[in-house]
Structure 1
Amino acid sequence: MASPLKSLIYDDDRYQKSFKLFLERSSEHQCMRDFIHNSLPDILASVGNRKSQLNVIGVGSGEGIVDLEMLSQLCQKHPGVLVDNEVVEPSSQQLYKYKVMVAQKPDLEHITFTWNKMTASEFEEQWRQKNITEKADFIHMLHMLYYVKDPGATISFFQSLLDKNGKLLIILVSGESGWGKLWRTFRSQLCNKGINQCATTADIKSLLDARGVPYQSYELQAHVDITECFTEGDQTGELLLDFLTEVLDFSRTASPSSDREFCGC
């Protein structure tokens, strides 16, 4: 390497820009919407056990676009029920966008939003300090287990918050995907040692299997156009490559040979 590679998570502004570009170049949100509208409703139908209020926790909610679609499906399956929605998101930019979107939507009067600008581990610490005994009916963790030190411990904590019939939804990169292949091949160069950045569904399934935890698995097909990454000096391609590798200024800090290797992976 030309110089040590720095994780993209340390520059929130560039991370948010690269993430926005990734969504523009990929079918990520569309495949999530397909799952939310086609598979999630049946899952949500069984939560709550006829309660008058449902408790939801979104961990790593981002700007809330996907959250609100899931909440819509939950409310359709449980009409007239009040919803308490805990939002856990460390990015000020994303949390602000979420709040703006909520303020502009007219049909959310039956949903209460509690905003937690913090990481999953900070939320866990706060929950334990306050000795909260309230249980959750639905918890979702979408593409956030890469950013915790111990995914197994994080899953265990949030599982412990589930009420009877409660559901925990985890969405993560597949171990069989191109991203999974990239991380397996270049784990030592790319992955931030302080978090579990290279985690895939294969890792989580192995963990759950070892614990004897039952789960349902769904495959979501998403694609990303990386054409611009192959044009030397293309700023858009460089930004997208930052997100795909999770490395800040990857094209400038990786050696030319490594750059070619990653693009050819």
Structure 2
Amino acid sequence: MMASNMSENKLLNILPDMKHCHKGYAAYCSKTTKWQEMQKWTESAEFDSNVVGNLSKNLSANMDQQIRVLGIGSGEGILEIYQLRKLATKFPKISASVVEPSELITKYKDTVGRNPVADNITFEWHKQTFDEYLASVACHGSDKKYHFISVVHAVYFLGDPDVSIKKLYKLLEPGGIILLIVVTDHTGTGSIPLHQSGLKDDKITNNLINSSQVKATLEKLHIEYTQSTHTEIVDITDFMTNDDSEEGNFLLDFLTCTINFRKSAPDDVRDRVMCHFQQGSRIEKTDDGDAKISYNITSDILFVTRGDKAK
């Protein structure tokens, strides 16, 4: 199809096509330092202070009771398992509810089955979207609330942040904490100029949620938060140097949140996006002496605490 006609079509959102999305996610996981860096961060004094320490202080009157943890979009649990292990060192009983709509939840369950996280943690598994989970909870008349809610790079899938943040906050116990990790709008995927093309349909705009929007929602709702930043490095060599690289093109699709971006995007949009990656990247040497193209993605880490301490 000619580029002049392509603008009449919409670039397809990657999210409804879970098979394609998972292939993109797998390509991304193989090329990013995200998980290694986030695991180090979970072991850091910052996580200890802002999550474990503050929860201990806020829930000091109920330290011998079971705390409830909710993971939203937990994937295969790579980071969440580290979070739970840290919490298990401080709290004697933990009930962890995992909400993940994809087959990745099976990998999470298998990992926990092979290597239990800690003796004092029990799990509930919900292969559902966030809204499906809320609907099932409401159907059973439950008003269950949580002491810690982890939403790591999952807010993009929850729709309008004005609505989703309010729903999350309602699930929080007094003194509880929500951990939100969201890409910023000025670096990485949050700054890709794709949204300016006018090619995406309304549904795909959910993929463009960034930390500025989330913070604006928190401020609008008068919800207090503190923040820090985290930077990961993605190796984009494959799609920058080889148009035919299957793994590279899946990574490109994942970063642009589209399906078959290289083939589907009009020439001007594709050129603008590839120029963005080129200008935002740097060439580094690997341990083997080869050149690789590295691209930074910066995220804001937001700690949201529900006002009153537990009584």
Q: Same fold per TM (> 0.5)?
A: yes
Given that 1:86 and 1:114 are in contact with CA atoms closer than 8 Å, whether structure 2 keeps it comes out as yes
Percent identity, please.
26
| Equivalent in 247, 253, 260 of residue 242 of structure 1 | 253
SS of equivalent to 2:252: helix
| Equivalent in 95, 98, 101 of residue 90 of structure 1 | 101
Identify which range, 209-218 or 44-53, moves more after superposition: 44-53
Q: Does 1:28 align with 2:34?
A: yes
Q: 5 Å matches for 1:50-61?
A: 50-61=63-74
Gaps of 5+ in 2: 277-311
Higher strand share: 2
Given that 1:190 and 1:245 are in contact with CA atoms closer than 8 Å, whether structure 2 keeps it comes out as no
| Deviation per residue, 1:214-240 (Å, 9 max, x gap) | 101110011212122222222222111
Instruction: Give the structure with higher Rg (CA).
Output: 2
Q: TM-score, normalised by structure 2?
A: 0.79
Deviation at 1:187, TM superposition (A): 6.4
Structure 2 CA distance, aligned partners of 1:190 and 1:241?
Answer: 16
SS of equivalent to 2:223: coil
Deviation at 1:88, TM superposition (A): 0.2
CA gap 1:125/1:245 in 2 versus in 1, 3 angstroms: same
Which one-letter code corresponds to 2:68 in the other structure? N
Structure 2 CA distance, aligned partners of 1:105 and 1:183?
Answer: 43
Structure 1 CA distance, aligned partners of 2:161 and 2:17?
Answer: 23
| Deviation per residue, 1:192-212 (Å, 9 max, x gap) | 526621011111111112222
Given that 1:147 and 1:195 are in contact with CA atoms closer than 8 Å, whether structure 2 keeps it comes out as no
SS of equivalent to 1:55: strand
Q: TM-score, normalised by structure 1?
A: 0.92
Which one-letter code corresponds to 1:91 in the other structure? S
Deviation at 1:96, TM superposition (A): 0.9
Structure 2 CA distance, aligned partners of 1:195 and 1:137?
Answer: 31
Q: Does 1:148 align with 2:155?
A: no
Deviation at 1:251, TM superposition (A): 1.5
Structure 2 CA distance, aligned partners of 1:262 and 1:118?
Answer: 33
CA gap 1:250/1:196 in 2 versus in 1, 3 angstroms: same
Structure 2 CA distance, aligned partners of 1:91 and 1:123?
Answer: 13
| Equivalent in 226, 234, 251 of residue 216 of structure 1 | 226
CA gap 1:64/1:177 in 2 versus in 1, 3 angstroms: same
Q: What does residue 199 of structure 2 align with?
A: 189
Given that 1:191 and 1:198 are in contact with CA atoms closer than 8 Å, whether structure 2 keeps it comes out as no
| Equivalent in 165, 171, 176 of residue 161 of structure 1 | 171
| Deviation per residue, 1:17-37 (Å, 9 max, x gap) | 211211221121123223211
| Deviation per residue, 1:109-150 (Å, 9 max, x gap) | 321111111111111222222221232110011111111222
Which one-letter code corresponds to 1:44 in the other structure? V
Aligned pair count reads 262
Deviation at 1:191, TM superposition (A): 6.6
Structure 2 CA distance, aligned partners of 1:118 and 1:151?
Answer: 19
Q: What does residue 41 of structure 1 align with?
A: 48
Q: 5 Å matches for 1:75-86?
A: 75-78=88-91, 81-86=92-97
